[in-house]
Amino acid sequence: MAEIKLTDLTKSYGPTEVLHHVAGEIRDGEFIVIVGPSGCGKSTLLRMVAGLETVTSGEIRIADRRVNELEPSARDIAMVFQNYALYPHMSVRENMAYGLKIRKLSKAEINRRVEEAADILEIRQYLDRKPRQLSGGQRQRVAMGRAIVRDPQVFLFDEPLSNLDAKLRVQMRLEIRKLQQRLGVTSIYVTHDQVEAMTLGDRLMVLNGGYVEQFGTPIELYDRPASVFVAGFIGSPAMNFLPATAEEEGMLLPSGIKLIAGVGQRGPVLLGMRPEHLIPDAAGPIAIEVEMVEQLGANTLLHGKLSGTDHAMVASVSGHVSAEMGTAHRFSVTPELLHLFDPETQKRLEA
């Protein structure tokens, strides 16, 4: 069983603490994605699990074994890097076999593992090629193959798709997910791409400035974000936020707009509305003065400002919508799909 337990982890460089009391349990066979903006500490956390960074305080346990002081080679993990890290002078077969030779496995066992991994990844026909003769996607498969042949307890992925073009990224993330499900290996995957995180992870750990903002399933983070940061980071396009005043019969928005909703709060709040939850309605209370239109095919994004204010708004409308710059489009929103946050703490308020 390769459960991973992180307990009160911190990481400091001199007097500067970059990870703050990170905690969480990863179940055996689970695919966890650590997601957040650049500089939030996600790669540092991954490298601590791998043993490439020391732990300042706290504990990491893999399969109920404390690994803080263990060398990377003793942790039974395999890591896939962003830059492939392949030896250019070696063939694909030699790259995949290298780690096994270091471990002094028999030639027959090495060949068996390499060819089995090559079949899983559909790269058997490339085994005798050099990395320079492969495309980016093929090189990434080789890097994953090198991890698979080790038969580890844990896979660690450090932004492995960031060097690929958009179409290949979509294809490769689906292949990584299918591969992980097939092998059933506990996996931690780091990315700054929230769409990638949502499609890959059983659960997501959202980091912000070295703190864990929320740790839950993609749907939990989308439906019930714990903070303004999570609400704005998860979902594309990002959630709209408006200052509002919660009253007995609903909410008062800027420019005197009233929304009827049983919010269970009183006083100032920060109101969140996802662009896709705004419903075109000629009699709706929310008017957006259009400044730009993005035709995406299946849907249209209307960018603008809340009528009579300087508050930016985006609405995502199904299908093709024509809109002239400066015209106002009206929308309504289902009260149950509104999100309320404390303006001071930025944390979620329950209705």
Q: Are 38 and 192 in contact (CB under 8 A)?
A: yes
pLDDT in tens, 148-185: 898 899 999 999 888 778 888 888 888 889 888 888 99
* CATH number of residue 18's parent domain: 3.40.50.300
**Backbone torsions φ then ψ of 213, nearest 5 degrees:** -80, -40
Is 237 contained in some domain? Answer: no
* CATH number of residue 302's parent domain: 2.40.50.140
Instruction: Assess whether pLDDT exceeds 80 at residue 260.
Output: no
Query: How many Å apart are CA 210 and CA 58, to the nearest integer?
Result: 14
As a whole-number percent, the residues of the chain with pLDDT over 90 amount to: 65
End-to-end CA distance of the chain: 40
Residues 207, 336 within the same domain: no
Going by pLDDT thresholds of 50, 70 and 90, the confidence category of residue 256 is confident
pLDDT in tens, 299-330: 999 999 999 899 999 999 998 887 788 889 99
Tell me if residue 77 falls in helix, strand or coil. strand
Tell me if residue 267 falls in helix, strand or coil. strand
Residues 125, 214 within the same domain: yes
Query: How many Å apart are CA 302 and CA 296, to the nearest integer?
Result: 11
Average pLDDT over residues 114-131: 91
Instruction: Assess whether pLDDT exceeds 80 at residue 144.
Output: yes
Residues 151, 252 within the same domain: no
List the 186-191 sheet strands across, edge first: 77-80, 154-158, 186-191, 31-35, 203-208, 211-216
Pick the last residue of a domain from 199, 232, 265. 232
Tell me if residue 300 falls in helix, strand or coil. strand
Residues 205, 251 within the same domain: no
Is 340 contained in some domain? Answer: yes
DSSP string, 122-133: T-GGGTTS-GGG
Among candidates 247, 175, 188, 141, which has minimal Cα distance to 31? 188
pLDDT in tens, 87-108: 999 999 999 999 899 888 999 9
Residues 27, 158 within the same domain: yes
Top-confidence residue, 260 or 155: 155
Residues 46, 90 within the same domain: yes
Domain count, the chain: 2
Residues 282, 142 within the same domain: no
Q: Which domain holds residue 179?
A: 4-232
CA distances (Å), origin 124, targets 70, 101, 138: 35, 19, 11
Residues 62, 200 within the same domain: yes
Handedness of CA 150, 112, 1, 35 (dihedral sign): positive
Instruction: Assess whether pLDDT exceeds 70 at residue 6.
Output: yes
Residues 75, 117 within the same domain: yes
What pLDDT, on a 0 to 100 scale, did the predictor assign at position 262?
59
Residues 219, 247 within the same domain: no
Is 115 contained in some domain? Answer: yes
Residues 246, 215 within the same domain: no
What pLDDT, on a 0 to 100 scale, did the predictor assign at position 174?
86
Query: How many Å apart are CA 340 and CA 351, to the nearest integer?
Result: 8
Burial of 321 (0-12, 13-18, 19+ CB in 10 A): middle
Residues 272, 217 within the same domain: no
Q: Are 190 and 43 in contact (CB under 8 A)?
A: yes
Pick the last residue of a domain from 187, 208, 232. 232
Is 311 contained in some domain? Answer: yes
Range name among 34-48, 90-104, 170-184, 211-225 with the lowest pLDDT average: 170-184
Going by pLDDT thresholds of 50, 70 and 90, the confidence category of residue 344 is very high
What pLDDT, on a 0 to 100 scale, did the predictor assign at position 18?
96
Pick the last residue of a domain from 205, 232, 259. 232
Query: How many Å apart are CA 285 and CA 21, to the nearest integer?
Result: 44
Query: How many Å apart are CA 190 and CA 196, to the nearest integer?
Result: 10
Instruction: Assess whether pLDDT exceeds 80 at residue 248.
Output: no
